[in-house]
Amino acid sequence: MEGSILDSLGKELIGVMSPVSICMLLVVLLVSILSPSSSFPSSPTPTPIVTAANLVYSENPSDSTTQKFEGALLNAAVFIVLIAVVTFILVLLYYYNFTNFLKHYMRLSAFLILTTMGGAIFLSLISHFSLPFDAPTCFLSLFNFSVLGVVSVFGRGVPIIITQTYTVILGIITAAWFTQLPEWTTWGLLVALALYDLVAVLAPGGPLKILVELSQSRDDDLPALVYEARPTVSTSSGGGRRNGGLGLLVGGVSDNSSVELQNLATTIGNHSNEEIAVDDERERMRNERSDDQGETIPLVVANSSEIGVVDEERSPLVEMVAGEGRDGGDGNEEAMTAGIKLGLGDFVFYSVLVGRAAMYDLMTVYACYLAIISGLACTLILLSVCRRALPALPISIALGVIFYFLTRLLMEPFVVQTSTNLMMF
C-alpha cells in the first residue's frame, strides 16, 4: 500500500518552523532590548531611517490618519515597483547565464549586511550592556565573523548547521533594521509584499515564476539566499515510491522538485542488508555468465520477476543508485529525501511582523506568532497536495495582520478590563 504524502509532513514542518521561530524570537528580543532605550542605530524617534521603503513619504506622529494611510500606500507602491524591477533584472542576468556575476553579487550583499547592518547592531548591544570592547578587537571580530559567514553560506563542504546558523543570522539582522520603519509604512509594506508574492509566483509572466522555471529547466540552484533544512527520512510500504517531499520554497516560491529528489533517494530494506543484496546479484550475474558466455553482463538487475539487461549507455543514475524494492516490495522501506528550502525573504518579513507587534505588547506577539506558524503550515500542506509553485508569504502575512489588529483592538482591552476588575487572574 502506497504511503500518504502527509506521512513525513511533521518532520518537514519542524525542520522549517524551528529556524523561523528562532529568527522571530531573536528579533523580538532585539526590539525589546534596544528600542526602549533608543540605543538602536539611527534611532527612529527624531528621524526615521531612509530606505527604499519610505522614499516618497516620511511619516510623522503629527500627521493625520488620512495622510499616514496615503503615504503608506505610496511607499508600498514604490517599494514593490523597485522590487519588481530588480527581480526582472536578476531574471535577465540568469537567463543570459551571468551566474558568476549573480553569485559574486550575493556574496557582496551578505558581506555588507553582516559588516554594516550587523556591525551597527553589535555596537548598540555593546553600548547597551556596557561591554568592555576596544576598537581593534571589535573590528577584527566583526571582520572575521563576516568573512566566515560568507564562506559558510556560499561555500561547499561546510557543515549544514553552520550554514543554517548564518542564514538565520542574516534574516535576523535584516528584519531588525526593517522594524525601524514607521508603523503605517510597515503594515502597508507587509500587505503589499504578500500581494506581490501572490502575483509574482502564480501569474503566467510573474518574475519569480519565470526564475523558478528557468532553474528547473537547467537543473541549477536558484540565485537567491535560501535556508536549507536537513534531509528527512520517510517510511513507505509496498515498495512503491512516494512523492512526499515538499520540494523547494525560495523567496516565497515553491520549486516542486520533489519527484526528482525522491528518484535520487537511497532505498533501504529493513529486512535485508544492501551490501549483501549487491553481493547476491553479482553472484547471480557470474552464474549466468558461466552459463552463456556470449551474453552481456547486465549492469543493474531490474525489479521484475525476470532478470532484465540494462545497457550502460542508457541506464540512468537513478537505477544505478537504487532500484525500486529489490526484494519484491513486500516490506517497509525508508527513503532519504533532500531537505526543503525556504527563502530568506520569508524569514525577514515574518520577523518584521512579530517585531512590530513586540513594540506594542507581548499579547500581540503571541497572537502574531501563532498566526504566522499556522499560515506556514497551511502553505506547506497545500504545497504537498497541489504539487505546484505556491507563494509562502500571503497566508502567513494575512493571518498575522488580522490577528494583530484583532488582538490589539478587541482581545487586549477585554483581557485588561477583566484583569483589573478581578474577573480573571
The catalytic residue among 279, 311, 330, 346 is 346
What gap in Å lies between CA 226 and CA 212, rounded to an integer? 13
Q: Which residue has the cell 553479482?
A: 282
What gap in Å lies between CA 28 and CA 81, rounded to an integer? 29
Q: Is 383 exposed, middle or buried (0-12, 13-18, 19+ CB in 10 A)?
A: buried
Fill in the DSSP letter of residue 250. E
What gap in Å lies between CA 180 and CA 35, rounded to an integer? 9
Q: Is 51 exposed, middle or buried (0-12, 13-18, 19+ CB in 10 A)?
A: middle
Residue 291 appears among annotated catalytic residues: no
The catalytic residue among 63, 134, 197, 327 is 197
- Cα 252 versus chain centre, distance: 8
Q: Distances from the Cα of 85 to the Cαs of 30, 38, 346, in angstroms?
A: 32, 35, 19
Q: Which three cell numbers stand for residue 131?
A: 561591554
Q: Distances from the Cα of 197 to the Cαs of 200, 379, 397, in angstroms?
A: 5, 13, 11
403 — phi, psi (to 5°)? -65, -35
Q: Which three cell numbers stand for residue 400?
A: 498575522
What gap in Å lies between CA 197 and CA 135, rounded to an integer? 42
Tell me if residue 279 falls in helix, strand or coil. helix
Q: Which three cell numbers stand for residue 217?
A: 529547466
What gap in Å lies between CA 102 and CA 90, rounded to an integer? 8
243: closest CA among 69, 138, 103, 384?
Answer: 384
Residue 292 appears among annotated catalytic residues: no
Residues in a beta bridge with 269:
333
Q: Which three cell numbers stand for residue 83?
A: 522590487
- Work out whether the CA dihedral 277, 317, 224, 356 comes out positive or negative: negative
Q: Is 58 exposed, middle or buried (0-12, 13-18, 19+ CB in 10 A)?
A: middle
> 326: Cβ–Cβ under 8 A, 6 or more apart, which residues?
269, 272, 277, 281, 301, 303
Q: Are 204 and 316 in contact (CB under 8 A)?
A: no
Residues assigned a catalytic role: 197, 346
